[in-house]
Structure 1
Amino acid sequence: MSSVLAFLLLPFSWLYAAVMAGRNWLYDAGWKQSETFAVPLLNVGNLRVGGTGKTPHVMWLVEELLRQGHRPAILSRGYGRRTSGPRLAGPTDSAATVGDEPWQYVEAFAAQGVPVAVAEERRLGAQLLLLQHPETTVIVLDDAYQHRAVRPTLNVLLTELARPFYDDEVLPAGRLRESRSGAIRADIIIVTKCPPALPMAEQQAVVQRVRRYSQPAAPVIFSAYDYGQPVAVLPGALPLAPSAAGSGPVPALLLTGIAQPGPLREHLEHRGYSIQHQAAFPDHHAFQPADLVAVRAHWQAGWPIFTTEKDATRLLAPELRAALTGLPFYTIPVRVAFLGDGAAVVRQLLPGVLASKI
């Protein structure tokens, strides 16, 4: 968005911010009630529209809860699904019925028995989870920072280093869902998608900017993406060998339907792949056979085609199987790696938060 257009849209942003501020005041003053539950609710959210890395951070948190001996469940809105209302993901579901991110959670944690539910009204989703899975000891909320109808026991706020909330404006002039002051509700703030070797001086500068809006005692930590080896999307496909250093760029294609595909492309290029064509679609795009036909027109035999784990959940829809056949799609697993003592800070914070509900 150009600076001139953003300036012209500022009055509308102020109006939207005022509406959101009024709504938040009603909750803070007790005029509107936030529901609590018998188990802790740990929310991972953001102030900004678009990808800040919620999915890999939710997965890290669930893995840590499992490691500590808890029985976590995951609750998401289920954006982009073809169903509505509260729904507990089961073996007959798919990305189409529960949403791509929730289905990614199902595939990641099915072996550990972690239930996944979706609901526009999170209180109904939490009720469903506790009814169907009374063994649950903690519920992880995916993207419920503005969903004030439930009260998280721990509010984790994510903000992207390249697009921090303190340099942004409220919609439509910017990308914030509410004003920067919403950061005051965060119990911990994670600055995401950082270079693994981000200098301490730069970290301290970011912390100072965040502190203008956050609770003084809320920890501010930093995380980076940790990319794994390529994984074939279709069962039975041969593993893709890593590109060999010094052998020259390896031609490849990239297909994405996420908010921020830039970091993945940069990673692939750093690994020695030359992206000949990138088909970039909006976040949660419902892929059609024609999309894969268009990709095939740019593809040459021997070229790998990369996509994200989230996109792969939608590419495996039955209606795409014929168009997908013969195309060597691979995902690059993405996990979270905290900088410095960030992981230790979260691990030390969890026992006290979880014990508060016992």
Structure 2
Amino acid sequence: MPFSWLYAAVLAVRNWLYDIGWKRTETFAVPLLNVGNLRVGGTGKTPHVSWLVEKLLRQGHRPAILSRGYGRQTKGPRLAGPQDSAATVGDEPWQYFEQFAAHGVVVAVAEERRLGAHLLLREHPETTVIVLDDAYQHRAVRPALNILLTELARPFYDDYVLPAGRLRESRAGAARADVVIVTKCPLTLSAADQQAVAQQIRRYSRPGVPVLFSAYEYAPPRALPGASATVLPATPAGPALLLTGIAQPGPLREYLENQGYNIRHHANFPDHHAFTPEDVAALRAHWQPGWPIFTTEKDATRLLAPELRAARAGLPLYTIPVRAAFLGSGGVVLRQLLPPVPAAGA
């Protein structure tokens, strides 16, 4: 705990310097929408970034996505292109590229987000809004909308700063949020339970900041490109394997088990794990013909690496797409906070 207090104090001084203007914060000609959290680990940023981009496209925006590109083998600002992969831009940015490139959404990565934003606007001046993935602590750029995510099972108000807990900064950081989203909720979460959670959050957020609640929605399984997969039966059941390298695989496993699958083996790796042929060979040792192997869209970006082609040959690999869905009128509230489409010629 003493180390936690020291770390929190250092971060508090850093944030204070930004708050009083001693450290420079840059703004841009287009609005920046940030999706971030106070806690390390998975709080559901990727599905919520996808939700935002889909809604911005429907409004007529020309959105771009800017991420740090965690785990990539390159450095500096970089625009994702068809020649890239999870190795060159990171697994989450590559997932965004595969999901949205056909819709004209540009994806960039940069450790220094301001450099990435400059690159985006220089190379793609048609961009009308930039969605920042995981930049809540990156104070060098100023978002027009700061979206804070916190997981229902692990809320920031019950946690402590590293190393005593899992927070990147103190709970007071929630005061920078323009909206707080409680993620990974059951669709049946009662109004009374929502009110109790919201009251805890409002101890740290600014007055009037909306507190919304979201859940995961899972789509039917999709075969990986080139995988030896057949159409799954309409009524899922029977043995299956699960392969994950994400921070919180529990909800996916629970979903599959609720669908009737008996997970005989779960190869559970750390977040952003770079799969090796040995990893896939070890998975194959637990597999029997007829058993599907499930994974996430994020993990699939790394499983499709060319060096794994031989190792995964013959395995029936499927992804389970996951999307964010808001409880009650939460989606309507968040859409109303999005910036308007600029007028033609503006």
Q: Does the alignment reach a TM-score above 0.5?
A: yes
Q: After superposition, give the CA deviation of every residue in 1:209-244 in whole Å (9 maximum; x if it has no partner).
A: 000000111100000000000000133754532462
Q: Which residue of 2 aligns with 1:304?
A: 292
AA partner of residue 259 (structure 1): A
Among 130, 137, 152, the residue aligned to 2:143: 152
AA partner of residue 199 (structure 1): S
* SS across alignment from 2:41: coil
Q: After superposition, give the CA deviation of every residue in 1:154-176 in whole Å (9 maximum; x if it has no partner).
A: 00000000000000000001000
Q: Which moved more, 1:230-239 or 1:268-277?
A: 230-239
Deviation at 1:347, TM superposition (A): 1.1
Contact 1:229 1:242 in 2 (8 A): no
Distance 1:43 1:238 in 2: 37
Distance 1:135 1:83 in 2: 26
Contact 1:226 1:337 in 2 (8 A): yes
Contact 1:53 1:192 in 2 (8 A): yes
AA partner of residue 302 (structure 1): G
Q: CA RMSD in A?
A: 1.4
Q: After superposition, give the CA deviation of every residue in 1:86-130 in whole Å (9 maximum; x if it has no partner).
A: 000011000000000000000000110100000000000000000
Distance 1:52 1:354 in 2: 31
In the alignment, structure 2 segments of 5+ residues that lack a partner are: none
| Structure 2 residue 266 is the aligned partner of structure 1 residue 255 | no
AA partner of residue 193 (structure 1): K
* SS across alignment from 2:18: helix
Aligned pairs for 1:1-358 within 5 A: 10-235=1-226, 237-242=228-233, 244=235, 249-351=237-339
Distance 1:184 1:352 in 2: 25
AA partner of residue 15 (structure 2): N
Instruction: Figure out how many residues of one structure are paired with residues of the other and give that number.
Output: 344
Distance 2:78 2:102 in 1: 20
AA partner of residue 30 (structure 1): G
Distance 2:250 2:234 in 1: 20
Q: After superposition, give the CA deviation of every residue in 1:64-89 in whole Å (9 maximum; x if it has no partner).
A: 00000000000000000000000000
Deviation at 1:350, TM superposition (A): 1.2
Q: After superposition, give the CA deviation of every residue in 1:131-183 in whole Å (9 maximum; x if it has no partner).
A: 11000000000000000000111000000000000000000010000000000
Q: After superposition, give the CA deviation of every residue in 1:173-207 in whole Å (9 maximum; x if it has no partner).
A: 10000000000000000000000110000000000
Q: Which residue of 2 aligns with 1:7?
A: none
Contact 1:41 1:138 in 2 (8 A): yes
* SS across alignment from 1:158: strand
Distance 2:80 2:16 in 1: 35
Contact 1:35 1:151 in 2 (8 A): yes
Contact 1:153 1:353 in 2 (8 A): no
* SS across alignment from 1:216: coil
Distance 1:330 1:282 in 2: 20
In the alignment, structure 1 segments of 5+ residues that lack a partner are: 1-9
AA partner of residue 154 (structure 2): R
AA partner of residue 121 (structure 1): E
TM-score of the two chains, using structure 2 as the length reference: 0.97
Deviation at 1:323, TM superposition (A): 0.1
Change (3 A) 1:353 1:69: closer
TM-score of the two chains, using structure 1 as the length reference: 0.94
Change (3 A) 1:292 1:236: closer
Deviation at 1:354, TM superposition (A): 7.7
Contact 1:230 1:239 in 2 (8 A): no
Deviation at 1:349, TM superposition (A): 1.4
Q: How high is the sequence identity, in percent, across the aligned residues? A: 77
Structure 1 segments (4+ residues) deviating >3 Å = 235-240, 351-355
AA partner of residue 294 (structure 2): F
Contact 1:42 1:152 in 2 (8 A): yes
Change (3 A) 1:301 1:291: same
* SS across alignment from 2:290: coil
Contact 1:78 1:99 in 2 (8 A): yes
Distance 1:243 1:70 in 2: 37
